[in-house]
């Protein structure tokens, strides 16, 4: 018997969802429901500065308004909690210990400014290694006495290929294309890459549907999942929705966020617009998420980004 499908919503409650977030949530939900799988809601609230509990409340309410339900998560509970990343610190500590025991980690004292100046993608020295890698034990001890350290993982000289359900093949050699990457910042904040792997792994997620902007993170996640002893899920990266000037929609600019969308439209009209934009229907008409799921097929979804011409 085929393994039961487990999908997830993994939104960051750092603002009200915008139309782009809604579009990937809708696709993730339709795919899972069409396969009679289980949906998990996990709130990715690691960034305590930006994530507010009011946004978590809005998220939950907005998903409910859209008719997108979940089987496990906040409100419903389930066997894979906690469902808020801010409560998962001990699980991330344990994952770091696993990686440490494999000799894959080293401490890093780079400041944010140094990290941002570094290339490519955060490792400034040749061959993707951070200069902190070359410090001697004595130098490490001296630095540690002065200030806290972050933690980096050694990127292997190995290619990981995503067989994406919509975007096709995407490969990266982690050492050359990404370099060693941070799993924990020196201020103690957990990196998205680590948290998402620990949570997708321990929650038994088999299908990840999310925006195409995260495709380039996926080889790193395939590596971490493997090292943590988990099978990679099936990945499907969905098209981005662009503003008429070609910009990506953003929460910060409050582009077409749920407050505005709920004022302008009913849930059926909003779902109908998205379905048409994504290629799921041949014309625009009001439809519920449940009706859409009944007849859902990935082969109809367009892989290319879509430009919005107003709502
Ligand atoms: N929390 C991320 C976001 O809201 C999504 C992470 C993921 O789907 O892997 O952008």
User: What tens digit of pLDDT does each residue of 187-236 get?
Assistant: 999 999 999 999 999 999 999 999 999 999 999 999 999 999 999 999 99
Which residues have a catalytic role annotated?
Answer: 251
Q: Is the confidence at residue 97, as pLDDT, over 90?
A: yes
CB 236 within 8 A of CB 298: yes
CB 216 within 8 A of CB 162: no
Q: What is the pLDDT of residue 253?
A: 63
What pLDDT is stored for residue 311 in this prediction?
73
Strand-strand pairing, 105-108 and 168-173? unpaired
* Ligand 1 within 6 A of CB of 193: no
Nearest ligand 1 atom to alpha carbon 11: 4
- How many angstroms separate the CA atoms of 13 and 55, rounded? 5
Say if residue 3's pLDDT is above 80: no
Q: What is the pLDDT of residues 131-189, one digit of tens each?
A: 999 999 999 999 999 999 999 999 999 999 999 999 999 999 999 999 999 999 999 99
Would you say the CB of residue 251 lies under 6 angstroms from ligand 1?
Answer: no
Question: What percent of the chain is predicted at pLDDT more than 90?
Answer: 86
CA neighbor of 71 nearest in space, from 81, 61, 62:
81
Query: Is the minimum distance from the CB of 11 to ligand 1 under 6 angstroms?
Result: yes
Mean pLDDT of the chain: 93
Q: What is the predicted pLDDT for the residue at 57?
A: 97
pLDDT tens readout for residues 33-59: 999 999 999 999 999 999 999 999 999
pLDDT band at 122 (very low <50, low <70, confident <90, very high): very low
């Amino acid at each position: 018997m085929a393994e039961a499908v487990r999908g997830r919503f993994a939104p960051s409650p750092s603002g009200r969802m915008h139309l782009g977030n809604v579009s990937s949530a809708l696709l993730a939900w339709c795919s899972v429901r069409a396969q009679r799988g289980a949906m998990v809601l996990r709130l990715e609230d690691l960034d305590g500065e930006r994530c507010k509990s009011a946004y978590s409340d809005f998220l939950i309410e907005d998903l409910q308004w859209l008719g997108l339900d979940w089987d496990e998560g906040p409100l419903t509970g389930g066997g894979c909690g906690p469902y808020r990343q801010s409560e998962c610190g001990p699980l991330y500590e344990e994952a770091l210990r696993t990686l440490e025991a494999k000799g894959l980690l080293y401490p890093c004292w780079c400041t944010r400014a140094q990290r941002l100046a570094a290339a490519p993608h955060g490792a400034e020295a040749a061959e993707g290694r951070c200069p902190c890698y070359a410090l001697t034990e004595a130098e490490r001890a001296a630095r540690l006495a002065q200030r806290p350290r972050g933690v980096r993982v050694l990127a292997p000289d190995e290619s990981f290929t995503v067989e994406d359900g919509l975007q096709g093949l995407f490969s990266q050699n982690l050492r050359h294309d990404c370099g060693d990457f941070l799993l924990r910042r020196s201020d103690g904040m957990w990196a998205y890459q680590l948290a998402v792997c620990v949570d997708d792994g321990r929650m038994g997620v088999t299908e990840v549907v999310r925006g195409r902007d995260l495709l380039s993170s996926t080889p790193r996640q395939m590596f971490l999942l493997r090292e943590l002893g988990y099978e990679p899920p099936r990945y499907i990266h969905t098209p981005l929705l662009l503003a008429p000037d070609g910009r990506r929609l953003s929460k910060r600019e409050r582009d077409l966020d749920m407050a505005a969308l709920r004022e302008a439209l009913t849930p059926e009209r909003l779902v109908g617009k998205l379905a048409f934009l994504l290629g799921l229907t041949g014309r625009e008409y009001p439809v519920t998420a449940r009706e859409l799921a009944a007849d859902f097929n990935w082969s109809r979804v367009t892989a290319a980004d879509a430009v919005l011409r107003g709502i």
